[in-house]
Every structure is written in structure tokens, then in C-alpha cells.
Amino acid sequence: MANLPDPIQNAAAAFDILPGVGPRAALRYAYFLVTQPKEVVERFSRALQGLADKIRTCDTCGQWSDRSPCSICADPARDQSILCVVATSPDIRSVEDTGVFKGRYHVLGGTLDPIEGRTPDTLTIAKLVSRLKSTPSITEVILALDADVPGDVTCLYIRKQLESFPIKVMRLARGLPTGAALEYADAHTLADALRGRREQ
Amino acid sequence: MANLPDPIQNAAAAFDILPGVGPRAALRYAYFLVTQPKEVVERFSRALQGLADKIRTCDTCGQWSDRSPCSICADPARDQSILCVVATSPDIRSVEDTGVFKGRYHVLGGTLDPIEGRTPDTLTIAKLVSRLKSTPSITEVILALDADVPGDVTCLYIRKQLESFPIKVMRLARGLPTGAALEYADAHTLADALRGRREQ
């Protein structure tokens, strides 16, 4: 990057670490910010400093938050009888956006994939078990994990761990995504949709 | 964005202003940074603060720089007889990356497009003319503008302004991009390549 001013190079190098952002896009972002009012760039800088300073994990559910317990765990209006197990913090937002779930969460920290070194002890499964032991109000656990092989393996493993609990262990339904055309559905999805068929 | 911690929401809102970055990608970037070491996020924050504090335009060529004259204008090794006119600062980097050009630059600030309100007085064309008047060492101007209609219009307009100067006014060649298959070249490009044919 010959002859680029240091501040622009530094900003481009910073953007370059983001997932899916290459050197060209990173440089474009840096140049874009140069054209913005100084306050906008300073607000951006402060927002990132805020991330570095204020984000921690919730001791109860494990999600990223600026406080512990997080706003969901601390909310007395949330249903105490039902727990949704997700792989990562951003998954909580996806579930919240549905407006359908009013219980609490547990963040696993990923899914099992022994080939990638993601063994049970790298996840918070033991913490989930002890949380269920110490919270008898929980009568249902929903495993809201990806619909792929690591997701399936993780569901099976957790179900095994919870066998001795008087708890319903549920997982997300599989089938056609809303708006899907039958013609373009892949065979696996359609097979799942057939197996999971419901009365009209 | 119900129940998202403020620091994550603020960071996502900051990323959301970048060109081509939507709310989903912005949130992904924010969550990605949360998983990074604190130093990485702080360095990112400081890099943006550096942009806000240190970037100005070079009084000579008009490019974004942390000093004026910029490192190119201040470099006595650069060829003083040839000036490359570009639309924006990032274009300088593209030309520099070729390693072919050793002269200096002039940043127009865009290209002419009256429909979009980009009239000659919104560009630094008057500044270019006075720079050429006061710098008799410049004997050649290369118009390195986009190969589209606004680029063409701008080239024609500038050539007109420079008619009375004893200066060669050149523009970039048009033709097949390196690596292009003739089969897939569009008719305009191929027509340009035929008109601009050269001896083998």
C-alpha cells in the first residue's frame, strides 16, 4: 500500500480483520469514513471502545451482555419453565425476532464437531446440566441448533445427558422454509417435510 | 433490536453506515469483535480516531492525506513534467499499484454529470487550470477517468479548457481487459479494441 497515508492504512487494516471483508472493501470503508463528518467517525470509534470496555458474558445464560445477569435473565416476566439452548449469542437475537419464545436461554458456545476439536468439554453442556439441576422450575428445553450434522450430533448428545431429568427435550421442526417453492426444495428438506407432516 | 446490549447495538449501528453493509452484516461484525481480544478492538477504535483527527486534503493535488503537501507531491523523485488527473483519492492508489506512472496527481473530486448536479464548478477543474498555468514544467496531462459516459464527458470538457495550453492531453486506452476471452467481450469494448488496434 505504497503512498497511502498512515491513518487510512491503519483504518483499512482494522476493517480487514472483519469476517468476509477483504483488503479492497476495507480500503473502501476507510475512504468512505474520510468523507464523513468528523463526529460520525468519532462516534464509530467510541462505539468500538464501548465494545472493548463494557461487554462481558452473562453468568447465568452465557450470552454477551453489558451486565450479568443479562436483561433477559433478569426479566421476571420471562417464562421460567422453558429454556432455549442456542449455539451462540447472535442466535438469541434470531429467536427473539420471531416473537414466539418468551422463556430464557442457554448459550452452548458452539456445536459438537470432534474433527474440528469441538468436543463436549469445549461447550457449556456441564453448566447446562447443573443449571437444570438447580432450577427445578424448568420443565422444557428447546434445542435451537443448526439443521446440519454438528447440530444433529449436539442435539443427540444433549438429549442423552438429560435422560434422567423429568424434562421435555424438544428440537426445532424441519421442513419447507416459508415461501419455498416445492419445485426447488432439495430432497433432504422435502424428506424432512414429509416425515414431519401435520394435520391441515 | 430488542434485548441487544447497548454496546453491541451501538457498534452495529456504526458499521451499518458503511457502503454495502446492511444491518445483518453490521451485527455480525459487532459480534465478531466481541470475540476478539480487547487490544484488537481498542486498536480498531484508535485507528478510526486517527482518521477523524489526522486526515486532511493535500493543498496541491487535493488527495486525502495526513500532511500537506502529501507524500507524493513532496517527493522530489517524482516526474514533474506529467500530471495524472483522477476523479477521487482512492483512484490514486489504483494507478500507483500499476507501478507504471511516476508523475504527480490532481484529484477532481468526481466526474461531470449535470443530471446529478455534478457541474464543472463542483469539481476542481479551475484549480487544475491555474495549477497548469503556474507550473510550466508540466507538459503532459493524463485523464485517468472512468470509462463511462460521465468519464467521457469530463475528458471532453477538460480537453476544451486546456486547448490554449502547450500540453499533451492524453486519456487511458480502451480495449480488452487483460485475461478477457474475446467470446465474452461486449460489443462496445470490442469496438473500442478494434478502433484502438496497435501494431504487433
CA distance B10 to A44: 8
Contacts of B24 in chain A (CB under 8 A): none
The predicted pLDDT at position B194 comes to 86
Say whether both B50 and B84 belong to one domain. Answer: no
Structural domains counted in chain B: 2
The predicted pLDDT at position B64 comes to 93
Among candidates B54, B72, B89 on the partner chain, residue whose Cβ is nearest the Cβ of A31: B89
Q: For the segment B63-79, what is each residue's pLDDT rounded down to a tens digit? A: 999 999 999 999 999 99
Place of cell 462516534: A43
Q: At what angle do helices B38-54 and A23-34 cross, to 10 degrees?
A: 50
Return phi, psi of residue B109, to 5°: 90, 15
- Cβ density class A153-173: b for 16+ within 10 Å, e for less: bbbeebeebbeeeebebebee
List A residues 144-183 in contact with B (Cβ-Cβ < 8 A): none
Among candidates B7, B43, B55 on the partner chain, residue whose Cβ is nearest the Cβ of A34: B55
Contacts of B46 in chain A (CB under 8 A): 10, 45
- Establish if A30 touches chain B: CB-CB under 8 angstroms: yes
List B residues 80-99 in contact with A (Cβ-Cβ < 8 A): 88-90, 92-93, 96-97
Q: Which domain does B31 fall in, by range?
A: 6-54
Say whether both A109 and A27 belong to one domain. Answer: no
Q: Judge whether A150 lies within some domain.
A: yes
Check CB contact under 8 Å for B18 and A8.
no
Q: What is the mean pLDDT of chain A?
A: 92
Residue A29 has pLDDT above 90, yes or no: yes
Q: For the segment A57-105, what is each residue's pLDDT rounded down to a tens digit? A: 999 999 999 999 999 999 999 999 999 999 999 899 889 888 899 999 9
Say whether both B113 and B156 belong to one domain. Answer: yes
Give the domain CATH number at A116.
3.40.1360.10
Among candidates B5, B55, B71 on the partner chain, residue whose Cβ is nearest the Cβ of A64: B5
With cut-offs at 50, 70 and 90, classify the pLDDT of residue A3.
Answer: low
The predicted pLDDT at position A176 comes to 87
> Average pLDDT for residues B47-61, to the nearest whole number?
93
Order of strands across the sheet with B140-143?
B104-107, B82-86, B140-143, B168-171
Say whether both A108 and A43 belong to one domain. Answer: no
The predicted pLDDT at position B196 comes to 84
Residue B3 has pLDDT above 70, yes or no: no
Q: For the segment A114-137, what is each residue's pLDDT rounded down to a tens digit? A: 888 899 999 999 999 999 999 999
Q: For the segment B135-163, what is each residue's pLDDT rounded down to a tens digit? A: 999 999 999 999 889 999 999 999 999 99
The predicted pLDDT at position A33 comes to 96
The predicted pLDDT at position A2 comes to 58
Residue B174 has pLDDT above 90, yes or no: no
CB neighbourhood size of B107 (10 A):
26
Residue A111 has pLDDT above 80, yes or no: yes
Give the domain CATH number at B47.
1.10.8.420
Which residue type does A185 have? A
Residue B43 has pLDDT above 70, yes or no: yes
Q: Judge whether B166 lies within some domain.
A: yes
Q: What percent of chain A has pLDDT over 70?
A: 98
Residue B45 has pLDDT above 90, yes or no: yes
What ipTM describes this predicted complex? 0.74
Residue B122 has pLDDT above 70, yes or no: yes
Degrees, nearest 5: CA angle B73-B78-B82: 90
The predicted pLDDT at position B179 comes to 85
Contacts of B31 in chain A (CB under 8 A): 64, 88-90
Say whether both A166 and A108 belong to one domain. Answer: yes
SS (H, E, C) A17-54: CCCCCCHHHHHHHHHHHHCCCHHHHHHHHHHHHHHHHH
Residue B1 has pLDDT above 70, yes or no: no
CA distance B89 to B180: 28
